Chains A and B, each alone.
Chain A
């Protein structure tokens, strides 16, 4: 066999395995995207359209409509607003508290910190379901609306309760995320700052916090997605319909007699949109944070 032949057969061999690889990848992409594609197609169909075609087919001529999107947006708008009002502060607060706790547990040394850290780690593993009853009892006992005479607190009591619950529930995982990042911060640098006269609080504010941007991006995206998508706490803790969050509103798009699949699909996309926006906004920092860059 000449060298040229060998090269050609190597090339075809390579081609075959390449082709196989791409086919497998393509199949996996199709498998992964099929539900999304079906949802998107269904959302643009009239009821007649989604009854007469398969879910992933294009809308038939004459059966294309955007009315489902309009209606979904209309029925979810107050839920979107409520979710945003609750999820944004809750996300920021849990990240901030997690960051502070991680700084205290990682970069400062004091007696008994390992024990406290263990409590935080244990907190990560408490399942939502396990705390539903104590949680409802806790909030009926605390009764913020009755104790704080502010119209705002009274009006949004359900959302405030839900937000605080999410903050408390998010602190352990945020702390663990921040801790692994803070463990890589140069110890000498923090000591240099101490010698420069900075207090522990100043070191956090002027050195640690500015260096935490990538890990904040990771934590914010993670926490926002968690809090935004939560249904369980929202159902249990929020009874007032005016305080309803988007996941609960989405759940109610399910009709009792007629299944309006186009409306449900459009609603699902509308409800998921903010989490996508957050990914796009913090994407670059997120990648840095995941890669562990300082």
Chain B
């Protein structure tokens, strides 16, 4: 168990003109026992970052420290870390027991009895005792996944690295394993870096999430912080499902205007956007009020038409077009009946809006929310 620090870590593939910057100056401090989720779209450099921590990829610039020790020059075997691969990477010719023992045999001085004991204990923890004498080929995907976890856990490393370990499982098993993995990490209290492209996994599993895009770190925050106080437009759009709505417009005094859309800004928001010529308005689907009775009134209400309704059961995802203006997605209660084609009024409440700079994408204003509330809800 140890603290893991990434200090200005940079990875460049290739040399000279043809080099590609895969990871650009990433700084993250991961506390002892913390569960950090590294999330981003494909090709954002998250796996490369993880592989640098593992020692499978060299570090072009910067430093990685585990428990205060510089890792850059150490071989993977010397780093006291274990990794779980997306493909599970089990040894097909060995039984589950041999798979789990392999790391102990190669990296520790334990005698046979101690190794057997560790394997048995870990197998019990993961509920795979009856699989110990089978080979990986005879196991289901979920069972292989457990064995892959077991192989990492049995070594009792200072840190776990997980590279999209759940993405080969079907949806139901995935959500089950998600919970189980969280509990396991809680029990073991081992520093964990978990890579995923799935924002649901990121939101639900991590103590904190680090969002990467194009090799650059966008934000490191608790899931709720990233959700409610995104550092920029990329984070706002990436975290949350369905995604946040964006309306790109121009700043016109104390209002934000786009084609057929004018949104008056209050004093404090107007002050925040002052100085930017263009700005993007952001609003989460669940914060939009959809009303069919015509009773909604105010500066922030707009006439709209329902285009498509996607019933999800617990909620309806409503695709709307503001008359003559932009399109929005809103979510409403699952029991409410909304027909496509109907005319409605929508309200975009000012306390729920985010405003991002039109060119840099930086957050100029985030929704108002009690900080205390955010902290309370932190797990």
Residues of chain A at the chain B interface (Cβ within 8 Å): 186, 188-189, 191-199, 202, 206-207, 210-211, 294
Are B92's CB and A197's CB within 8 A?
no
12 residue pairs A–B, Cβ–Cβ below 8 Å = A188-B85, A191-B54, A191-B56, A191-B85, A193-B91, A194-B75, A195-B54, A195-B103, A196-B77, A196-B102, A198-B106, A210-B93
- Counting from the closest, the 6 A-B pairs by CB-CB distance are A197-B107, A196-B103, A197-B106, A188-B89, A197-B77, A192-B89
Nearest to A206 among chain B residues (CB) is B102
Are A195's CB and B92's CB within 8 A?
no
Q: A196-B103, A197-B106, A198-B102 are in contact. Are A191 and B89 (CB under 8 A)?
A: yes
Cβ contacts under 8 Å, A197 to chain B: 77, 103, 106-107
54-103 of chain B: CB within 8 A of chain A: 54-56, 75-77, 81-83, 85-87, 89-93, 102-103
Cα(A294)–Cα(B91), bound, Å: 12
Give the shortest distance, in Å, between B87 (CB) and chain A (any CB): 5
Cβ contacts under 8 Å, A192 to chain B: 83, 85, 89-91, 151
Q: A189-B89, A189-B90, A195-B81 are in contact. List 10 more A-B contacts (CB 8 A).
A: A186-B89, A188-B85, A188-B86, A191-B54, A191-B56, A194-B56, A194-B76, A195-B83, A207-B91, A210-B93
Nearest to B102 among chain A residues (CB) is A196
Nearest to A189 among chain B residues (CB) is B89
Give the shortest distance, in Å, between B73 (CB) and chain A (any CB): 15
126-168 of chain B: CB within 8 A of chain A: 151, 155
Cβ contacts under 8 Å, A211 to chain B: 92-93
Contact with A along B230-257 (1 / 0, CB 8 A): 0000000000000000000000000000
Are A194's CB and B77's CB within 8 A?
yes
Cα(A210)–Cα(B106), bound, Å: 17
Cβ contacts under 8 Å, A199 to chain B: 77
Nearest to A192 among chain B residues (CB) is B89
Residues of chain B at the chain A interface (Cβ within 8 Å): 54-56, 75-77, 81-83, 85-87, 89-93, 102-103, 106-107, 151, 155
Cβ contacts under 8 Å, B103 to chain A: 195-197
Cβ contacts under 8 Å, A294 to chain B: 92
Are A198's CB and B87's CB within 8 A?
no
Cβ contacts under 8 Å, B92 to chain A: 189, 211, 294
Cβ contacts under 8 Å, A189 to chain B: 87, 89-92
Cα(A189)–Cα(B91), bound, Å: 7
Cα(A210)–Cα(B102), bound, Å: 14
Cβ contacts under 8 Å, B82 to chain A: 195
Give the shortest distance, in Å, between B76 (CB) and chain A (any CB): 5
Cα(A194)–Cα(B57), bound, Å: 12
Give the shortest distance, in Å, between A192 (CB) and chain B (any CB): 4
Give the shortest distance, in Å, between A81 (CB) and chain B (any CB): 36
Nearest to A190 among chain B residues (CB) is B89
Give the shortest distance, in Å, between A215 (CB) and chain B (any CB): 14
Nearest to B155 among chain A residues (CB) is A196
Are B77's CB and A198's CB within 8 A?
yes
Cα(A6)–Cα(B81), bound, Å: 72
Cβ contacts under 8 Å, B93 to chain A: 207, 210-211
Give the shortest distance, in Å, between A132 (CB) and chain B (any CB): 43
Cα(A193)–Cα(B87), bound, Å: 14
Are A188's CB and B91's CB within 8 A?
no
Are B76's CB and A195's CB within 8 A?
yes
Are A193's CB and B102's CB within 8 A?
yes
Identify which of A195, A207, A210 contacts B77 (C-beta below 8 A): A195
Nearest to A196 among chain B residues (CB) is B103
Nearest to B77 among chain A residues (CB) is A197
Cα(A193)–Cα(B77), bound, Å: 9
Cβ contacts under 8 Å, A196 to chain B: 77, 102-103, 106-107, 151, 155
Cα(A186)–Cα(B54), bound, Å: 18
Cα(A206)–Cα(B89), bound, Å: 15
Cα(A207)–Cα(B89), bound, Å: 12
Q: A191-B56, A195-B77, A210-B93 are in contact. Are A186 and B107 (CB under 8 A)?
A: no
Cα(A264)–Cα(B92), bound, Å: 50
Cβ contacts under 8 Å, B155 to chain A: 196
Give the shortest distance, in Å, between B185 (CB) and chain A (any CB): 19
Max chain A C-beta neighbours (<10 A), residue from B77, B81, B91: B91
Max chain B C-beta neighbours (<10 A), residue from A194, A195, A196, A202: A195
Cα(A193)–Cα(B98), bound, Å: 12
Cβ contacts under 8 Å, A210 to chain B: 93
Cα(A199)–Cα(B93), bound, Å: 19
Cα(A186)–Cα(B81), bound, Å: 21
Nearest to B51 among chain A residues (CB) is A191
